[in-house]
Every structure is written in structure tokens, then in C-alpha cells.
């Protein structure tokens, strides 16, 4: 997926506080905004690369089962397709 072109803009902390919703919307569309205090850069407001939710351990508990044959040896015809020490 090609990256969106970004616009780097500088706004004062006061402007950022006053227009935060609009700045966040512009950042979500690909703009990168530098927030300054007394003319010095202090923070960057940038779009997120990955917005997938975090995984929650244990969420699938009880939704699937491991069969009794899970640890059984593979059939010989399947085993032949794997590399390994000669027997």
C-alpha cells in the first residue's frame, strides 16, 4: 500500500488547543503537524499507521479444542516431505 504524502505544518500550542478537533481530522487524513511552544518544536501530531485493536490474551478461550491425536506421529507419506536427519 503506497504511503500518503504528508504535509508538515507548524502550529503554536495555543492554536493546537483551540483547534484540536480540526487538527486531529487533518492528521487522520495524512498531515503531520508540529506543535510549538515559544517557537520551539515540542510535539508532533501524525496519522496512525496501524489502527487494528490490540489483541486480548484469553479472548478465544473455550472456543476451540485440540484433538487427542494432535501429538500423534505424522503419517509416513506426510513425514517424507519434511527435511530432517536420515533414519
Query: Is residue 28 situated within a structural domain?
Result: yes
Chain segment 3-38, per-residue pLDDT in tens: 555 558 899 999 999 999 999 999 999 899 999 999
| Confidence (pLDDT) at 23 | 96
Q: What is the domain extent for residue 14?
A: 8-45
For the question of whether the overall pTM of this predicted structure is more than 0.75, the answer is no
Query: Is residue 18 situated within a structural domain?
Result: yes
Query: Is residue 50 situated within a structural domain?
Result: no
Chain segment 64-86, per-residue pLDDT in tens: 888 998 999 988 888 888 876 66
The C-alpha cell at 85 is: 536427519
| Confidence (pLDDT) at 43 | 95
- Tell me, letter by letter, the H, E, C secondary structure of the chain: CCCCCCCEEEEEHHHHHHCHHHHHHHHHCCCEEEEEECCEEEEEECCCCCCCCCCCCCCCCCCCCCCHHHHCCCCHHHHCCCCCCCC
Query: Is residue 20 situated within a structural domain?
Result: yes
Structural domain count, the chain: 1
Query: Is residue 15 situated within a structural domain?
Result: yes
Amino acid at each position: 500500500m503506497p504511503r500518503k504524502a504528508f504535509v508538515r505544518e507548524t502550529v503554536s500550542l495555543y492554536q493546537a488547543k483551540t483547534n484540536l478537533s480540526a487538527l486531529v481530522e487533518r492528521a487522520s487524513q495524512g498531515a503531520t503537524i508540529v506543535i510549538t511552544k515559544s517557537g520551539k518544536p515540542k510535539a508532533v501530531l501524525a496519522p496512525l499507521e496501524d489502527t487494528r485493536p490490540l489483541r486480548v490474551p484469553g479472548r478465544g478461550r473455550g472456543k476451540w479444542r485440540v484433538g487427542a491425536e494432535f501429538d500423534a506421529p505424522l503419517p509416513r507419506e506426510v513425514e517424507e516431505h519434511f527435511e530432517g536427519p536420515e533414519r
